[in-house]
Structure 1
Amino acid sequence: MHVLLIEDDVHVGAALRSALAMRGVVLEWVATGHEALEAADGCDVVLLDLGLPDVNGFDLCRALRAGTDAAIVVVSARGTVDDRIVGLSSGADDYLVKPYNVDELLARVRAVLRRRAIGLASRPEPLRFGDVEVDVPGHKVFAGGEPITLSRKEFQLLVMIAAADGDVCRRERIIAEVWGETWPGANRTLDVHVGYLRTKLGRPDLIITVRGVGYRLSADAAGRTAR
């Protein structure tokens, strides 16, 4: 288990590293948010103190969540209900208030890892069509192996069209499911989003317009969509 501690208090960091070493856990320890972003790659668990000298702890939690699959446990003296809610909403898997018992900390870490292992085991395979891959739960898209940044609605639109695997997605259905309502300019808004999607993917022929009806995957991609 590769554990990263982000803690600027020297006494707390040294004491925790010693206590975990006695329990057979090797701890990597950094004191700033900038160091943490570089060290987090490949970690199994991140122990995050919120009171850091260079960054806002909640912002760092969000950045770590976006950039790593590691379990994140906040360990902080900030123990109000609001702080816990913000911490968990920022991507933390658990929140432990200082002072805490080291054995309880380890028990929580192991519980988080068990939950995440179960979640990963049941995670569906990405959608793949051509050289485009869509990780639906992770809200990630890759084209030719390169990450593509999509808005939420662009992502939903792509998933709908990809999941249909060559069948036509009707305009009315797309608008109802992606926007949740219709309005006089809805068709134009849909067309604009499809245009953005084609541009961002860099594959203008991937999504075919069926005039007056809707959109579908190209014949080259359809029939090869895999989960």
Structure 2
Amino acid sequence: MARKGGGFWGFVRAILIAGLIVFFIGPVVMVAIYRFVPPPVTFLMVQRALEGRGFERQWVPMDQISPSLVRAVIAAEDARFCEHHGFDLEAIEKAMAANAAGKKLRGGSTISQQTAKNIFLWPGRDWVRKGLEAWFTVLIEVGWGKERIMEVYLNSIEWGPGVYGAEAAAQRNFKIPASKLNATQSARLAAIVPKPLSWKAAKPGPYMKRRAGSINRNAKAVRREGLTSCVL
């Protein structure tokens, strides 16, 4: 009987150790590697490739990405990027209040959270993924810092069918490198981040022109108020 009990508890212990490796040690190792090595592909990239959308991406360092694009994505996606530690509690509270009031669903996801999700996790909204997203967000905030988070974000997000990263997006839409993007072009790219498969940066319609114009104005405020001090 003792031998059976020992076998059972040995099995439980093995499961716990495996869980520790998968959910704690594994992410730490991955984050440490990607602190220095460009992440090769993501789950979303593989999914899109299997859907026949192709794959276009060219990694470039931060000093080869226009500061205008950095300001534009911060203005559009996460104005408090340099102030928070991965989670914008104020934005989360506003999103929860809006959702509770039955208004249009709003998100409180930061650039750090988006980066954690895009690089390490699969598309979806299940609770396991959300829990891992929070854990990876903490890890990259501690292990990478803001500049590396922004660099990985701008090199990895989807900017059209099969188009990933700032360099590919700039080349595809405007036939220029990411380093040459001006404020208007940057605002147009930032404007399509929420719906990159349906919205167009190169030939925006009336709604997208208004949206990009608003982002451009907000980006000027971002610059004026020094809200990119952690990355520029």
Q: Larger relative CO (CA 8 A, sep 6+): 1 or 2?
A: 2
Give the TM-score of the pair, scaled to structure 1: 0.24
Which is strand-richer, 1 or 2? Answer: 1
Instruction: Compare CA radii of gyration and give the structure with the larger one.
Output: 1
| TM-score, normalised relative to structure 2 | 0.24
Q: Which has the higher helix share?
A: 2
